Structure 1
């Protein structure tokens, strides 16, 4: 078996990932284009194996969701005749597609898409960690600012009270005036 690895630029795959119903998803037409199959063939295979695609793997988008998501990246095709609602696949649904589309291209594309999803998840996790670290530093700086304000307040108070509480001291020892 040849190991000819397919390489689609990651930015192309990333541009086909949308955010719908609080999930990162891909549309059936975009997946079909990546797999180099017709959208109706992809949908047919999914419908034949619908038990493999529960709601958290695949759902049909509303026309409004489809328009809104596509307009996010400026990829909405004008004048498109969409007869059926687009199928939308989550990361798990994309992984399941490799089991119903029996081509080496589908397997290679799926591997790449899963790697992109994993990379996106890692970037988000890294950003969250960085955000938490920045928040910690900010809190420390806020506390230091408060402490510095207190120190300056005490210094100001000390400078404003020039020896008001102490009477002048008597000199001790030899005084030249006493001679």
Structure 2
């Protein structure tokens, strides 16, 4: 499997819940080569490593929303119970708790995907800023062009009244 496909599969498992990008315990267990109940046991044995912003359990409403808004067929597909979700920092901490080589390698890969997300977000903000600057410039140019056209129309519509000659006048 090539890197892009692998990164894409990881990215598909990242969800936005409570304004935080997280991954489900069952998906992480699968990637780490273990079963969800073993992963949860290891986490419960090391709860001091997982503060609320590293890991939290979904509420009934959040689990229901995940099923209805994402390509998750049913609550059973979430693992049957209210799943735990892990933020980027929680995923990194999992590598210290689940000490298999596969878990360590996958944690590194997952963190790299999170970093790519952040980089894409920053580049999108930069592009948005550039578009806003271009829009302001275009509006200013539009105003300038309108002024030029108005002035030209005034010049064209002016009557050609005879003007007093310019220059040296002889006194007679």
Per the alignment, residue 43 of structure 1 pairs with: 40
Per the alignment, residue 132 of structure 2 pairs with: 135
Name which of 98, 102, 105 aligns with 1:101: 98
Partner SS for 2:90:
helix
1:123-154 deviation line (CA, Å, top 9, x unaligned): 11111111111111111011100111111111
1:87-137 deviation line (CA, Å, top 9, x unaligned): 111100100100100111100010000000001111111111111111111
Question: Does the 8 Å contact 2:23/2:86 carry over to 1?
Answer: yes
Per the alignment, residue 9 of structure 1 pairs with: 6
Per the alignment, residue 77 of structure 1 pairs with: 74
* Cα distance, 1:64 vs structure 2: 2.1
Normalised by the length of structure 1, the TM-score is 0.83
Greater share of residues in helix = 2
Deviates more, 1:150-159 or 1:74-83: 74-83
Partner SS for 1:105:
helix
* Cα distance, 1:84 vs structure 2: 3.5
Distance 2:78 2:130 in 1: 49
Per the alignment, residue 177 of structure 1 pairs with: none
Any residues of structure 2 matched to 1:140-159 within 5 Å, and which? 140-159=137-156
Matched, 1:110 2:107: yes
Distance 1:50 1:81 in 2: 22
Normalised by the length of structure 2, the TM-score is 0.86
Question: Does the 8 Å contact 1:26/1:89 carry over to 2?
Answer: yes
What value does the CA root-mean-square deviation take over the aligned residues? Answer: 2.5
Per the alignment, residue 67 of structure 1 pairs with: 64
Partner SS for 2:99:
coil
Structure 1 unaligned runs (5+)? 1-6, 173-179
Distance 2:108 2:156 in 1: 71
Partner SS for 1:19:
strand
Higher gyration radius (CA):
1
Name which of 6, 15, 23 aligns with 1:26: 23
